[in-house]
Amino acid sequence: MNTKKNAPARKIIAENRKARYNFEILEVIEAGLVLSGTEVKSLRSNQANIAESYASFENDAFWLINSYVPEYTQGNRFNHEPRRLRKLLLSQREIVRLANSIAREGMTVVPLKLYFNERGRAKLEIALARGKKLHDKRETEKNRDWNREKSRLLRDRG
């Protein structure tokens, strides 16, 4: 699978690629998810979307809001709701620290990746982030374009 010896084997299901463009990522945390059986089966077929989702602190827990896991095709009447709230599994210390950061410093919690870890458990990589201003986004684009052009020049030179 992975070419590195000690790298964990991850099967990425969904990725929020715009998060790194729209937000300045300060800290990354791995969180578990409370899922039903049909949700896990639907995730195993790589059908999920976390692009418009975010995490919110309510009732002493973090919840993943607006994530999309489609209904399982072979599911029966016990199928899940596609856009339901999903509880994030974090330690109490992480919950308190994230909640304080959100309340005090005007930050937000955004999901970055949804994946299965090496043990086959569904995990969500969330980040404590601060929104970027328009000029920061332009700076990011400028750096990305320059790095792309630099790699082209180096590749053409030999």
What DSSP line would sit under 5-53, residue for residue?
SS----EEEEE-TTHHHHEEEEEEEEEEE---HHHHHHHHTT--B-TT-
pLDDT value of position 75? 73
State what percent of residues in the chain have pLDDT above 90.
36
Sorted by where each starts, the structural domains of the chain and their CATH numbers stand as 11-132 (2.40.280.10)
Mean pLDDT of the chain: 87
Number of Cβ within a 10 Å radius of residue 1: 9
Residue 44: what pLDDT?
87
What phi and psi values does residue 133 have, to the nearest 5 degrees? -85, 170
In this predicted structure, what is the pLDDT of residue 32? 93
- The model's pTM: 0.78
Residues of the chain with pLDDT under 70: 1-8, 158
Q: Tell me: the pLDDT tens digits for 3-26?
A: 555 656 788 999 998 888 888 899
Determine the pLDDT at residue 134.
85
